[in-house]
Amino acid sequence: MRQKESAGLLMFRRGVAAQPEVLLAHPGGPYWKGRHAGAWSIPKGGVDRGETPLEAALREFREETGFEPSPPYLPLGAVVQRSGKVVHAWAFEGDCDPAASRSNTTSTEWPPRSGRIIEIPEVDEVRFFSIEDARKAINTRQSALLDRLLQERLG
């Protein structure tokens, strides 16, 4: 995996009164349980060696949601999260039933430094948000992706 580099997809649809809605993912596991504001993200993950950021974004979307993305993919550029991680992003128009999402799982130590390993879903929920509500829920550094989506595609 490339150091501190990830890639993801932002699915959008026309919601009520043709207002845009975006699909965001909530991370799984006990650390994120009960956290809402700033905890949600575009479905994303690390870029593996030999893979382009777009290939990683497509793979991660499938793994974290269980849904198949469909082109065309609109480049939204990259944002830098507080940790220094660079997140490359693309948007695409689509629809799905969030209740039907299925995430892959990962192992983590919980509680921290306990030596106890538990299996958790990478994503425990996906949900469509209005742009206004997405701004409150999404990782602060990823909110620029919402602005770019509005400017490039939905403006």
- Which tens digit of pLDDT belongs to each residue from 49-64? 999 999 999 999 999 9
Tell me: pLDDT of 153 over 70.
no
Range 87-98 burial, b when 16+ CB lie within 10 A, else e:
bbbbbbeeebee
Q: Where are the domains of the chain?
A: 5-154
DSSP 126: E
Q: What pLDDT, in 10s, does the model give residues 10-46?
A: 999 987 777 899 999 999 999 999 999 999 999 999 9
> What are φ and ψ of residue 54, in 5° steps?
-65, -40
Beta bridge partners of 80: 86
Quick check: 30 and 21 in contact, CB under 8 A?
A: no
Which CATH superfamily, name and number, covers 5-154? Nucleoside Triphosphate Pyrophosphohydrolase (3.90.79.10)
Q: How far apart are alpha carbons 41 and 142 in whole angstroms?
A: 7
Quick check: 37 and 118 in contact, CB under 8 A?
A: no
